[in-house]
Amino acid sequence: MIDNLKNVLLFAAEGPLMVPPQELAEQISTAVSTAAGPSAATNFGYLVAAVLFIMGIKGMTHPRTAVRGNLLGALGMLIAVLVVLGGEQVNWWLAILGMLAGSAGGVWLANKIQMTQMPQLVALFNGFGGIASVLVAGAEVLRESAPDSDVSVAGFAAGLTGLIGSVTFTGSLIAAGKLHELPQFKKSWSFSGQQWVSTALLVVSLILCWEMTDGSGGEYFLLVMVAFALGVLLVSPIGGADMPVVIALLNSYSGLAAAAAGFVIDNNVLIIAGSLVGASGLILTNIMCKAMNRSLANVLFAKFEASGPAADADEVYAGKIKKTSADEVAMMLDGVQRVVIVPGYGLAVAQAQHVVRELADLLEASGVTVEYAIHPVAGRMPGHMNVLLAEADVPYDQLKEMDEINPTFSQCDMAIVIGANDVVNPVANTDPTSPIAGMPILNVSEARTVVVIKRSLSPGFAGIPNPLFAADNCLMLFGDGKQALVELVAAFKEN
């Protein structure tokens, strides 16, 4: 056992980049299978499940292998459940009834949901995972004879499970409600001094976690209540545009809650699967923060300041806006070689993905190269825009990430911006005092011509005017996104 662990540590010490994940997984598995706890056969089954989870996530590294990866993950879960049912003391009636009810709900939700609603569904599922971990730790706290010798660590782990899981639960429900635009969330729930109340609640819950180390568990349910309130207070002041960060963070929490529950009940597969998800959520959180050029603390605790004096729309736009029409754009499209489409969330709201693809098909049929430039925060959750376009049968090899497409805008004949604003605002690069200063943007202005399809000159979420609209090579096609595209397609067909 000790030797095995030593090997694992030696492997890890070589640095994460040098160790292929599979090899690391094998090393871990050796350590796992020799650890004490449940029976050897059960632990071996858990090991198989854990390896399948890792291979499953590995499959997600390419669209070609992703379907299989997801199925491997599901297979891992099935094996883990069968191992428990086959090898451990289980209350069969509760297990079967509970799993039937959960499956029915899961199938219903998964089939009913529209792709635009994916962020709130993921938020909801995060919440369910969180509360499940809270309940598992709660049941363990209630167990009269503690199964483990080391009461203090188990108690502390139970406390952490209660804290993280409960914050995940209420935080996710609030996030889902906001994303679903429920009327209850129309008005901001925030009040002055909210951060201080949140901080106080966090301190109280950490003290309660510490109190749990005596192993009596009496504080657990008080802790859960405090953490429920904390989850509500943390998420309720955060605005819609910051939701990608919040969902990614809650995703991470739901994993960490499962891992903490693994410590409570001495279960390796919970620890491994939970920490994988925890890492995944943290990486996505980090990517989203970078894409907005804001720190996590800033997203969570600071109000996004709509800039004051610098933003004078009239001054930026006066006399420089060039209006265009669908016919004119269609004529210009005759004879271009490369077109880049820049979709924003407005496109999805207008349900215009299918018309966009129709336009792209027509262009391609006449020999034009068409690509899509996807900003990391283009949707309401990481990667959301890609899913929305995939739903409209846009092939994934046409979807380009920001870093990949930015150097190529200068070789682009026309960039068509639909329902995006702040992510193409050059002010981010030029004005260090602007609220979006330093945010990475899509450099559409380097294209020969930019066509912006937009209802009006109204500002985006950042509340600032966009000098791109006044640029020499920029044409404004005013109107509803979908309607404008339908007209454009019709005009292009006539030519």
Partner 1 sequence: MDYITAITIFVLAIFIGFEVITKVPSTLHTPLMSGSNAISGITLVGALLAGSGFWGGLFGFLAIVFATLNVVGGFLVTHRMLAMFKKK
Stretch that binds partner 1, among 48-56, 342-350, 455-463, 468-476 (CB under 8 A): 48-56
- Residue 242: exposure state from Cβ atoms within 10 A (0-12, 13-18, ≥19): buried
Stretch that binds partner 1, among 123-131, 181-189, 197-205, 326-334 (CB under 8 A): 123-131
User: Which of 353, 350, 449 has the alpha carbon at shortest distance from 399?
Assistant: 353
Cβ-contact 75, 121 below 8 angstroms: no
Cα–Cα distance measured from residue 375 to residue 409, given in angstroms and rounded to the nearest whole number: 14
Stretch that binds partner 1, among 14-22, 180-188, 336-344, 430-438 (CB under 8 A): 14-22
Q: How far is the CB of 294 from partner 1 (least distance, A)?
A: 18
Phi, psi of 344 (to 5 degrees): -115, 180
Stretch that binds partner 1, among 96-104, 235-243, 297-305, 413-421 (CB under 8 A): 96-104
22-41 positions binding partner 1, by CB under 8 A: 24-25, 27-28, 31-32, 35-37
Q: Map tokens 């736009």 to a residue.
A: 317
Does residue number 215 form part of the binding site for partner 1 (CB under 8 A)? no
Q: Which residues are catalytic?
A: 422
Does residue number 365 form part of the binding site for partner 1 (CB under 8 A)? no
List 40, 109, 318, 490, residue binding partner 1 (CB under 8 A): 109
431-470 positions binding partner 1, by CB under 8 A: none
Indicate the helix (H) or strand (E) that contains 252.
helix 243-264
Q: How far is the CB of 359 from partner 1 (least distance, A)?
A: 16
Side-chain-facing half-sphere of 473: CA atoms under 13 Å: 14
248-267 positions binding partner 1, by CB under 8 A: 248, 251, 254-255, 257-259, 261-267
Does residue number 356 form part of the binding site for partner 1 (CB under 8 A)? no
- Residue window 267-286: x/- pattern of binding to partner 1, with contact defined by CB under 8 A: xxxxxxxxxxxxxxx-xx--
# residues contacting partner 1 (CB under 8 A): 134
Q: How far is the CB of 287 from partner 1 (least distance, A)?
A: 7
Q: How far is the CB of 313 from partner 1 (least distance, A)?
A: 32
Does residue number 47 form part of the binding site for partner 1 (CB under 8 A)? no
Does residue number 235 form part of the binding site for partner 1 (CB under 8 A)? no
CA torsion sign for 390, 392, 393, 397 is negative
List 151, 153, 311, 491, residue binding partner 1 (CB under 8 A): 153
Does residue number 341 form part of the binding site for partner 1 (CB under 8 A)? no
List 116, 120, 131, 405, residue binding partner 1 (CB under 8 A): 131
Kindly give, in sequence order, each residue whose CB lies less than 8 Å from that of residue 399, ignoring residues fewer than 6 positions away. 371, 372, 374, 386, 389, 390
Kindly give, in sequence order, each residue whose CB lies less than 8 Å from that of residue 259, ignoring residues fewer than 6 positions away. 270, 271, 273, 274, 275, 278
388-407 positions binding partner 1, by CB under 8 A: 390-391, 393, 395-399, 401
User: Which of 378, 374, 326 has the alpha carbon at shortest distance from 482?
Assistant: 326
List 33, 58, 180, 317, residue binding partner 1 (CB under 8 A): 58
Does residue number 171 form part of the binding site for partner 1 (CB under 8 A)? no
Q: How far is the CB of 302 from partner 1 (least distance, A)?
A: 25
Cβ-contact 262, 274 below 8 angstroms: yes
3-state helix, strand, coil split of the chain in percent (to 5) is 65, 5, 25
Stretch that binds partner 1, among 176-184, 212-220, 377-385, 456-464 (CB under 8 A): 377-385
Cα–Cα distance measured from residue 333 to residue 341, given in angstroms and rounded to the nearest whole number: 13
Cα 397 off chain centre by: 21
The sheet carrying 399-401 orders its strands as 399-401, 369-374, 338-343, 414-418, 449-454, 474-478
Kindly give, in sequence order, each residue whose CB lies less than 8 Å from that of residue 388, ignoring residues fewer than 6 positions away. 115, 116, 343, 347, 348, 353, 379
Q: How far is the CB of 208 from partner 1 (least distance, A)?
A: 19
